[in-house]
Amino acid sequence: MLIFIDQPKNIKVLRATADSSGAVKRERIGIIAKNKFELSDELKTALQKDEVPEVDGVISVYQTASLARKKAAALSFPETLREVVEYMQEEATEAERTLVMSALLEGLRVMRKMARGDVPEA
Protein backbone atom coordinates (compact mmCIF):
# COMPACT_ATOMS: atom_id res chain seq x y z
CA MET A 1 0.00 0.00 0.00
CA LEU A 2 1.28 3.46 -0.86
CA ILE A 3 0.94 6.51 1.36
CA PHE A 4 1.06 10.03 -0.10
CA ILE A 5 2.22 12.91 2.12
CA ASP A 6 1.49 16.44 0.91
CA GLN A 7 4.41 18.86 1.22
CA PRO A 8 4.67 22.44 -0.09
CA LYS A 9 6.63 21.55 -3.26
CA ASN A 10 6.37 17.77 -3.45
CA ILE A 11 4.21 14.79 -2.69
CA LYS A 12 6.24 12.33 -0.66
CA VAL A 13 5.49 8.69 -1.50
CA LEU A 14 5.89 5.98 1.13
CA ARG A 15 5.27 2.26 0.96
CA ALA A 16 3.60 0.68 3.99
CA THR A 17 4.57 -2.91 4.67
CA ALA A 18 3.94 -5.20 7.61
CA ASP A 19 6.92 -6.96 9.16
CA SER A 20 6.85 -10.47 10.65
CA SER A 21 5.39 -9.18 13.92
CA GLY A 22 2.56 -7.41 12.09
CA ALA A 23 3.89 -3.93 12.79
CA VAL A 24 3.53 -1.58 9.83
CA LYS A 25 6.71 0.02 8.57
CA ARG A 26 6.78 3.03 6.26
CA GLU A 27 9.52 3.18 3.66
CA ARG A 28 10.18 6.37 1.67
CA ILE A 29 10.32 5.45 -2.00
CA GLY A 30 10.41 8.87 -3.68
CA ILE A 31 8.65 12.12 -4.49
CA ILE A 32 6.37 13.66 -7.08
CA ALA A 33 7.30 17.26 -7.94
CA LYS A 34 4.19 19.46 -7.74
CA ASN A 35 5.49 22.04 -10.21
CA LYS A 36 5.32 19.51 -13.06
CA PHE A 37 3.66 16.48 -11.46
CA GLU A 38 6.59 14.36 -12.57
CA LEU A 39 7.94 11.33 -10.78
CA SER A 40 11.47 11.55 -9.46
CA ASP A 41 13.94 9.06 -10.92
CA GLU A 42 14.12 7.49 -7.48
CA LEU A 43 10.35 6.90 -7.47
CA LYS A 44 10.26 5.57 -11.04
CA THR A 45 12.84 2.96 -10.08
CA ALA A 46 11.19 2.01 -6.78
CA LEU A 47 7.59 1.64 -8.01
CA GLN A 48 6.20 -1.81 -8.63
CA LYS A 49 4.07 -2.28 -11.76
CA ASP A 50 0.85 -2.66 -9.77
CA GLU A 51 1.55 0.65 -7.95
CA VAL A 52 1.82 2.78 -11.09
CA PRO A 53 -1.99 3.19 -11.57
CA GLU A 54 -2.31 4.29 -7.94
CA VAL A 55 0.36 6.96 -8.41
CA ASP A 56 -1.20 8.07 -11.71
CA GLY A 57 -4.55 8.42 -9.95
CA VAL A 58 -3.10 10.61 -7.21
CA ILE A 59 -1.35 12.80 -9.78
CA SER A 60 -4.67 13.18 -11.62
CA VAL A 61 -6.41 14.27 -8.40
CA TYR A 62 -3.73 16.88 -7.68
CA GLN A 63 -3.90 18.22 -11.26
CA THR A 64 -7.71 18.43 -11.10
CA ALA A 65 -7.53 20.26 -7.77
CA SER A 66 -4.95 22.69 -9.14
CA LEU A 67 -7.12 23.51 -12.15
CA ALA A 68 -10.20 23.88 -9.94
CA ARG A 69 -8.38 26.36 -7.67
CA LYS A 70 -7.27 28.40 -10.69
CA LYS A 71 -10.78 28.40 -12.15
CA ALA A 72 -12.32 29.41 -8.82
CA ALA A 73 -9.79 32.23 -8.46
CA ALA A 74 -10.44 33.46 -12.01
CA LEU A 75 -14.22 33.34 -11.70
CA SER A 76 -14.22 35.12 -8.34
CA PHE A 77 -11.74 37.74 -9.57
CA PRO A 78 -14.32 40.51 -10.20
CA GLU A 79 -15.56 40.25 -6.61
CA THR A 80 -12.02 39.99 -5.27
CA LEU A 81 -10.95 43.05 -7.24
CA ARG A 82 -13.86 45.06 -5.82
CA GLU A 83 -12.86 43.99 -2.28
CA VAL A 84 -9.21 44.89 -2.94
CA VAL A 85 -10.19 48.34 -4.22
CA GLU A 86 -12.33 48.91 -1.11
CA TYR A 87 -9.43 47.88 1.13
CA MET A 88 -6.99 50.07 -0.79
CA GLN A 89 -9.31 53.07 -0.42
CA GLU A 90 -10.10 52.57 3.23
CA GLU A 91 -7.12 51.18 5.11
CA ALA A 92 -4.13 50.01 3.06
CA THR A 93 -0.67 51.18 4.05
CA GLU A 94 1.64 52.72 1.48
CA ALA A 95 3.65 49.49 1.28
CA GLU A 96 0.46 47.48 0.66
CA ARG A 97 -0.66 49.91 -2.02
CA THR A 98 2.72 49.64 -3.76
CA LEU A 99 2.63 45.84 -3.66
CA VAL A 100 -0.94 45.59 -4.96
CA MET A 101 -0.40 48.19 -7.68
CA SER A 102 2.75 46.40 -8.87
CA ALA A 103 0.87 43.10 -9.10
CA LEU A 104 -2.04 44.75 -10.90
CA LEU A 105 0.18 46.49 -13.45
CA GLU A 106 2.17 43.29 -14.11
CA GLY A 107 -1.07 41.33 -14.57
CA LEU A 108 -2.36 43.94 -17.03
CA ARG A 109 0.93 43.84 -18.95
CA VAL A 110 0.70 40.07 -19.38
CA MET A 111 -3.00 40.17 -20.29
CA ARG A 112 -2.34 42.82 -22.95
CA LYS A 113 0.36 40.60 -24.44
CA MET A 114 -2.13 37.71 -24.51
CA ALA A 115 -4.73 39.92 -26.20
CA ARG A 116 -2.16 40.73 -28.92
CA GLY A 117 -1.50 37.03 -29.37
CA ASP A 118 1.90 37.05 -27.73
CA VAL A 119 2.74 34.11 -25.53
CA PRO A 120 3.10 35.36 -21.93
CA GLU A 121 6.28 34.50 -20.10
CA ALA A 122 5.96 31.81 -17.46
Q: What is the pLDDT of residues 3-45, one digit of tens each?
A: 999 999 999 999 999 888 888 899 999 999 999 998 888 999 9
Q: What is the pLDDT of residues 62-79, one digit of tens each?
A: 999 999 999 999 999 999
CB atoms within 10 A of CB 95: 8
Mean pLDDT of 47-63: 95
Domain spans, the chain: 2-74, 77-115
Give the predicted TM-score (pTM) of the model: 0.74
